[in-house]
Amino acid sequence: MSIYTFTNTERNNKKATEFETKSLLYLVGFRKDRDQVDLFTIDCFNDVTGIDKSYSELWDIQSKNYSKFYPKQIGEFLFTLYKNHISGLNFCCLILFVSKLNKEYLIKENLDEFGMDNFQEDTRSRIKNGLIDKLKNNTGKNNEEDAESFFNKIIFVQDSKDISDYIKRITKFKDRKIRNNDFYQNIFEEIRDVQSAKKNSCIENEQIEKIEDVLKFNRHLFKKEIYTLIINRVLGCDIFEYKSIPISFKNETDNLDTEATKDLIQDCKANLARAFFNKNSNPEFWKVLEFTINQFDINPKADIYRVYSGLESSINIKSKHLDRKSLLFIISIIKDNIYAN
């Protein structure tokens, strides 16, 4: 591949804007192809860029949060996405993430995601001219032919959701009131701060030859890290690094020696991790959490075996990783960490 040079990157530790975090979580939770994205770079190729496991495809997002957008201005904002389009890297998806646009610009104003064909003809023409003029000013070239192929590829995403919606989407709780909005907003802000910290370095004019070379700058987040942060906040502890024996789980370990107890706890944690990070069993994992939290909300002193019995009869659990011991373990963790008082 050709050498890629990073330009116009953040040079300070300024907090990532709310909008950039929304665009990150849009890639995590809302895109239909989200399962293909494995990690995200922060302010390298663009504000946020998703990368697949094989480091062969990129999902690129430029985010702009303005109260008013003018068509020519929209075209100018496409400049960085266009540069990536012609860079030689495989940007499979190019996205301009924006606040609500003037409905008069659009053919179907209720769409949150659309291409250039959803703009009114006059608006579409002015957007194109905005980019072409920007190209002329920056490169001295017209580039209209390349720009046309770019316009066929670009996707516009309008942000119409609250902060809490982006976290709720990832948790997969059907009962959206299982936690209040402040809880979800706190998680959002924590992810925003983690994202912001990734900008605390200067990579201006640094170069890479392969996509995976971007990892050396430590401006990336793996999707697994975001998922883990969220689940840990929901459970009130670091579930996959949990080293203690939950008090409520003690009956399951009373007749075991030290090594057997350690093995049991390790097996439970490993099973829960496999269930959580597997896309097929992940929905079942969230159903288990939702049911368990609801049961303890009703009765914080409920017996873990009674909760397990209700769980078994209410949810058709197919994942082999969510076996009896592992379920009792996570039920115990929820009871002891969230409802102990």
* pLDDT, tens only, 134-161: 988 887 666 666 788 899 999 999 999 9
* Model pLDDT for residues 208-259, shown as the tens digit of each residue: 999 999 999 999 999 999 999 999 999 888 888 888 899 999 999 999 999 9
Give the pLDDT score at 16. Answer: 56
Same domain as 225, residue 334: no
Name the more confident of 177 and 290: 290
Give the pLDDT score at 203. Answer: 87
Give the pLDDT score at 13. Answer: 44
Residue 36 — pLDDT band, cuts 50, 70, 90? Answer: very high
Same domain as 331, residue 207: no
Rg for the chain (alpha carbons), in Å?
Answer: 24
Give the domain range for residue 48. 4-229
* Tally of residues, the chain: 341
Same domain as 214, residue 245: no
Same domain as 161, residue 89: yes
Q: Tokens 């046309």 identify what position?
A: 148
How many domains does the chain fold into? 2
pTM of the complete model: 0.88
Same domain as 208, residue 124: yes
- Residue 88 class from Cβ within 10 Å (0-12 exposed, 13-18 middle, 19+ buried)? exposed
Torsion of CA 116, 118, 124, 128, to 10 degrees: -10
Two structure tokens written together for 178: 């299982």
* Model pLDDT for residues 77-109, shown as the tens digit of each residue: 999 999 999 998 999 999 999 999 999 999 999
Q: Tokens 């039920």 identify what position?
A: 331
Last residue of a domain, one of 229, 262, 284: 229
Q: Name residue 172's amino acid.
A: K
Residue 12 — pLDDT band, cuts 50, 70, 90? Answer: very low
Cα 336 vs. chain centroid, distance in angstroms?
29
